[in-house]
Amino acid sequence: MTADWYDLAQRLYAARSRTVVARLSGAPVPRLSNPVAIRARQHRAGITVTAAAPGRAEATARGTDALTLLHDFGVRITAGSRRTLVAGDTSTLPALLALAHSAGPDGAQADTAAHLAWWADRADFPGSSAVVSLTACCQARWITGTGPAAENRLGTWLAWLAVPGTGCPAMLALLDRVQAGRPLTLLEWIERADADSWAFARRGHDGGRDWRQPDSTGQAATGLRARCDTTDLYAAALLTDPLFRRRAVHTGHVVTGIAATAPGSKNAIIVTCDRADARLRAGDDITGWAGDPGDSPADRFAGTVAATGISAGTLTVTITGTRASVTPGGTRVTICPAAPDPMVQQLGRTRLRELYRTRTSWLTTGRAPAVVRRDVPLDIVVAAAGAGSGG
Amino acid sequence: MSTAPPIPGTDAELARWAARVLDGTGLTVQQAAAVAADPAAAVPPAAARAAQALRDGWSAAKGDTSP
């Protein structure tokens, strides 16, 4: 893969021009309506929290007063709408979770603690509107003329984007820059999942459920599945961006080449690829169009990779399920993985949840599934025999 | 369009990272910048793949540099 060299050129360009270079045309986060910028630190004397919100001046408090401060900023599970945590470092969220654990089981502090716990849960979901890591979002959207390690520091971004001020107000100003413009396509589905998760957490709190209790096996399994689904969805959202696709050619996620009609088939094409380092595999669903990765045409084709092969160092990809007429022979095409269907993902999670709820399911009974025997390919048998004999 | 103020130490940080990325290509950081900016610049055979990626990155950067 050659993405490091691609990035190097962009860093050199940024260093020479003294301006950041865009990696995305759109915003990597949805437009947020209730952000709260927070900086939290754990000390021996307790946890110190500094917070600011649009229209609210920056304020600082320590220990249980910090919970009261956050409550005043609307960070409470009983509020009419959820707040978005805007963090500028990796130590704030762990400190907030520690603060939540110090809260009592009832009252206003418990309401705030439950909201902090919800943030900690949703922080695992990329593209979420619950928790925004400013440095991660800036790194998704731009590249600077420094080394990558410097981009983990908030100060680097404040300087390169010439954001005035300091502390939490500066973080809010940086957030405005990060979320300017149109959000990436598909992020609205992640925002819907945030809303559903918020509603679930509220209902649980109202019903007396303690967020400190560990998840059941079923909850843990569906939670893991939801995180995987969101990661897939966010990866697909990035691929909807033309600037991101130009770089993705160098990671093998986007493939360019010349299309030709497959012999004897009206529903298949063969793409002779420009590069051999594609990540497409047989069975992958794809979407494609006539043109370059930076193009965003409405007219696209869909299909499935039937086979891949290398001939004289050139990669060919056979795609079925698409009408060959949409890509006449000799057409230059761009292909990338098809985005997952959020509705299908949701259905899969619902089925998994039901499987865990069903008492007779092999998952809930703990009984191993019945053994199914089948023929094993000879080369696997030979390899296993070799491994068993120490050869 | 914003212009960043000088950030002490970042140039050295970029240079260190660039040297690691270019290891094996035979290009120095200065040569990589020249190759990226000039499609007609001569490129040693060992750096052919790097040159293509450098030029693609530079071209995309030129197309849109506004935050």
What mean pLDDT is reported for chain B?
A: 82
**H-assigned helices in chain A:** 3-17, 64-72, 92-101, 107-122, 134-141, 154-160, 167-178, 187-206, 217-239, 242-248, 342-357, 362-365, 378-388
pLDDT class of A241 with cuts at 50, 70, 90: very high
- What are the pLDDT digits (tens) for A84-97? 999 999 999 999 99
Question: How many Å apart are CA A214 and CA A223, to the nearest integer?
Answer: 12
Question: How many Å apart are CA A256 and CA A292, to the nearest integer?
Answer: 7
**Residue A387 has what pLDDT?**
65
| A173 part of contact set with chain B, CB < 8 Å | no
- CA A374, distance to chain mean position in Å, is 38
Q: State which H helix or E strand residue A334 sits in.
A: strand A332-337
Q: State which H helix or E strand residue B37 sits in.
A: helix B29-37
Q: CB distance A19–B1 less than 8 Å?
A: yes
Distance from CA of B52 to the nearest CA of A (A): 8
8 A C-beta contact, residue A281 and residue A300: no
pLDDT class of B3 with cuts at 50, 70, 90: very low
The amino acid present at A220, given as its one-letter code, is A
Q: Which residues contact B55 (CB under 8 A, 6 or more apart)?
A: A9, B35, B36, B39
| B13 part of contact set with chain A, CB < 8 Å | yes
Q: CB distance B67–A3 less than 8 Å?
A: no
Q: Are strands A84-87 and A131-133 parallel, antiparallel or unpaired?
A: parallel
Give the total residue count for chain B: 67
Q: Look at residues A335, A258, A17 and name the one whose alpha carbon lies nearest to residue B63.
A: A17
pLDDT of A112 strictly over 70: yes
Question: How many Å apart are CA A256 and CA A315, to the nearest integer?
Answer: 11
Question: How many Å apart are CA A304 and CA A321, to the nearest integer?
Answer: 6
Q: Comparing A174-183, A204-213, A310-319, A352-361, which segment has the lowest mean pLDDT?
A: A352-361
Question: How many Å apart are CA A76 and CA A113, to the nearest integer?
Answer: 7
Q: CB distance A25–B61 less than 8 Å?
A: no
**Residue A4 has what pLDDT?**
96
- What are the pLDDT digits (tens) for A3-29? 999 999 999 999 999 999 999 999 999
- Domains of chain A, CATH where assigned: 3-211 (no CATH), 214-230+341-366 (no CATH), 242-337 (2.40.30.10)
Q: CB distance A247–B57 less than 8 Å?
A: yes
Name every chain A residue with its beta carbon within 8 A of the beta carbon of B22. Answer: 5, 8
What mean pLDDT is reported for chain A?
A: 92
ipTM of the complex: 0.87
8 A C-beta contact, residue A174 and residue A44: no
What percent helix, strand, coil does chain B show, rounded to 5? 60, 0, 40
| B46 part of contact set with chain A, CB < 8 Å | no
Q: CB distance A147–B57 less than 8 Å?
A: no
- CA A57, distance to chain mean position in Å, is 31
Question: How many Å apart are CA B63 and CA A319, to the nearest integer?
Answer: 32
| B42 part of contact set with chain A, CB < 8 Å | no
Tell me the sheet residues that pair with A256. Answer: A334
pLDDT class of B6 with cuts at 50, 70, 90: very low
**What Cα–Cα distance (Å) separates residue A205 from each residue in A79, A201, A211, A359?**
12, 6, 8, 26
Output the pTM of the full model: 0.89
**Residue A92 has what pLDDT?**
98
pLDDT class of B1 with cuts at 50, 70, 90: very low
pLDDT class of A389 with cuts at 50, 70, 90: low
The amino acid present at A305, given as its one-letter code, is V
Q: Which residues contact A280 (CB under 8 A, 6 or more apart)?
A: A255, A286, A305, A308, A317, A335, A337
Name every chain A residue with its beta carbon within 8 A of the beta carbon of B33. Answer: 9, 12, 16
Name every chain A residue with its beta carbon within 8 A of the beta carbon of B16. Answer: 147
Concatenated DSSP letters of A21-69: EES-SSBSSPPPSSEEEEEEEEETTEEEEEEEETTEEEEEEETHHHHHH
